[in-house]
Structure 1
Amino acid sequence: MTDDFEAAKTRAAAWFRTLRDQIVDAFEGLEAGHDAGPLADAPVGKFEVTQTKRSSDDGSDAGGGLMSVMRGGRVFEKVGVNISTVYGTLGERAQVAMAARKGIPGMKDDPRFWASGISLVAHMQNPHAPAVHMNTRMFWTPHAWWFGGGSDLNPCIEYAEDTAHFHDQQKAHLNPHGLGLYPKLKEWADEYFYIPHRNRARGVGGIFMDDHCTGDWEADFKLTQDIGRAFLPAYVPLVEKRKAQGWDDADKDAQLVHRGLYAEYNLVYDRGTKFGLETGHDANAVLMSLPPLAKWV
């Protein structure tokens, strides 16, 4: 691995920004178009955008990104769409974790890294509209590179047809990369988005991959792009269908309890949360995924 990857890094970071812009536009369109049903008379939600920075031990430039958060909208109670490109050297704790988990030699001798990606979590006003998570990313060190990410659906009130639509779109976008890929990434998501101390899944699954490197950067980048492209057609129709559906106190209570599960998973098990905090990225951006309100029984 050498700095010949500079052009690849630039292309990957630009793609994550493009995807971010498409999603922000689509979500603000859902807000503006919600004109019937619960909260249709509420103010239209807009994203607030702030720059984030990664802190480095020596005060040098270590990258950053954009944190885009919408709160208290008609459709979205809280949604964040973050992008970041960070770089520098991994601290000793992160070096050990990376070498142990990924088997990368030489990290102690040359701990440089570069990482770029997009991360999204949406928590909805309507309990019938499912929460969702999506992220894709590229990671580079002088010793290795890889892609990761996926998306998964987290309804508190499950509808079989919504789950089927979400998975069908994932499958359709993955099939051009090999018919065996969707089952593999679906199984990976089922294993990854599982809460051991609750003996249950976080939601109804999706797709997930990590450490993805076939040696063909172009092919792996195209796969990562298609994982991102699958998101809007998989998710937006579900919101459009459920956003005007009526709910009662019991529905809202079920939503708050389910959010508790989501918070537990992200704080205890999620690799992205751990990596972001360990490498000094903006804590507010890292913890953007947490719901605005949750409940434990």
Structure 2
Amino acid sequence: MPEMTAERKQAADWFHALRDTITAAFEGLEDRGPGDRPAGRFQVTPTTRADDGGGGIMSVMRGGRVFEKVGVNWSEVHGKLNPRAQAAMAARGVPGMDRDARFWASGISLVAHMQNPQVPAVHMNTRMFWTPNAWWFGGGADLNPCIEYPEDTAHFHDRLRAACDAHDPGYYDRFKAWADEYFFIPHRGRARGVGGIFYDDLNTGDWAEDFAFTRDVGSAFLPAFLPLAEARMDAPWTEADRDTQLVHRGLYAEYNLVYDRGTKFGLETGHNADAVLMSLPPLAKWV
């Protein structure tokens, strides 16, 4: 398996550029947001792994006009997986992982929790993973409204479908079904939101094509989400709506702490815990 040095740099640079594009767009949305409080701005913090195997950028905005809390993280990490993570990768069928625990990974991860309960929460990530004997891409996006509007759900899915259809007419149905299964909370017997797409272990043998698809998924995010936020950020809401939002955030927290693959990997590999757990909402409620 080649080192893929140029390909890895290309992927990491693009994920970084996507991070810059999204944070700028979100700060622009804050400038247009309702109310007289100061527009939110991202606090940017460099992050490192415990064993000095790379790091990243944690960007978190709190208490804005539109966003109550949003994190947009970029990372590029490398090293050797610990025995537990190595065994988990081997169990997933990663070739050679039982003999060589070296890895490299880069990606972007985003979670937004909104001030107005009428505006849906949202998640997106894309990433590349490399080992001496394998490489693959993964990612996706899903919408998490506490108050669902069918037209918002349709718009979000239509944008993701278009990104998928540009590469393979079977991708959307396949990856939507995967999202429905993956973003499901078994102990609650329900999904955490209205779905989207999810994929992992994507390696068709054509690195350039798989990377192009992953770029299109990332690029589809802002057109899928920003119009929904812009349309609803001024909408009136009640204390009952806020209560519904906080209870729904409890579901989101449960999922990310118990089931999310990225959370488990980040903590297992010694990445900055604050960066790994930035997806958690600022406030939540359980009944």
Alpha-carbon separation, structure 2, partners of 1:69 and 1:105 = 36
In structure 1, the residue matched to 2:7 is 8
How far residue 259 of structure 1 moved from its aligned partner, in angstroms, is 0.1
Quick check: 1:92 aligned with 2:83?
A: yes
Residue-by-residue CA offset, 1:13-50 (whole Å, 9 max, x unaligned): 0000110011001000000012x4xxx11111000000
Alpha-carbon separation, structure 2, partners of 1:171 and 1:106 = 34
In structure 2, the residue matched to 1:111 is 101
Aligned amino acid, residue 92 of structure 1: P
Aligned amino acid, residue 46 of structure 1: R
Aligned amino acid, residue 147 of structure 2: I
Question: Is the Cα contact below 8 Å between 2:69 and 2:282 reproduced in 1?
Answer: yes
After TM superposition, the runs of 4+ consecutive aligned structure 1 residues lying more than 4 A away are none
How far residue 179 of structure 1 moved from its aligned partner, in angstroms, is 1.3
Counterpart secondary structure, 1:198: coil
How far residue 174 of structure 1 moved from its aligned partner, in angstroms, is 1.3
Alpha-carbon separation, structure 2, partners of 1:110 and 1:164 = 44
2:47 to 44, 52, 55: 52
In structure 2, the residue matched to 1:24 is 23
Question: Is the Cα contact below 8 Å between 2:157 and 2:196 reproduced in 1?
Answer: yes
Residue-by-residue CA offset, 1:171-222 (whole Å, 9 max, x unaligned): 1111110211111111110010000000000100000000000010000000
Counterpart secondary structure, 2:212: helix
Aligned amino acid, residue 52 of structure 1: T
User: Which runs of 5 or more residues in structure 2 are unaligned?
Assistant: none
TM-score, L = length of structure 2 = 0.99
1:120 to 103, 106, 110: 110
Residue-by-residue CA offset, 1:224-244 (whole Å, 9 max, x unaligned): 000001100000000000000
Question: Is the Cα contact below 8 Å between 2:65 and 2:115 reproduced in 1?
Answer: yes
In structure 2, the residue matched to 1:250 is 240
In structure 2, the residue matched to 1:174 is 164
How far residue 105 of structure 1 moved from its aligned partner, in angstroms, is 3.6
Alpha-carbon separation, structure 2, partners of 1:32 and 1:110 = 49
Identity %: 70
Question: Is the Cα contact below 8 Å between 2:116 and 2:237 reproduced in 1?
Answer: yes
User: Which runs of 5 or more residues in structure 1 are unaligned?
Assistant: none
Aligned amino acid, residue 22 of structure 2: I
Counterpart secondary structure, 1:110: coil
Number of positions where the alignment pairs a residue of Structure 1 with one of Structure 2: 287
In structure 2, the residue matched to 1:228 is 218
Written as runs of structure 1 = structure 2, the 5 A alignment for 1:134-283 is: 134-283=124-273
1:74 to 65, 82, 88: 65
The Cα RMSD (Å) is: 0.7
Aligned amino acid, residue 44 of structure 1: A
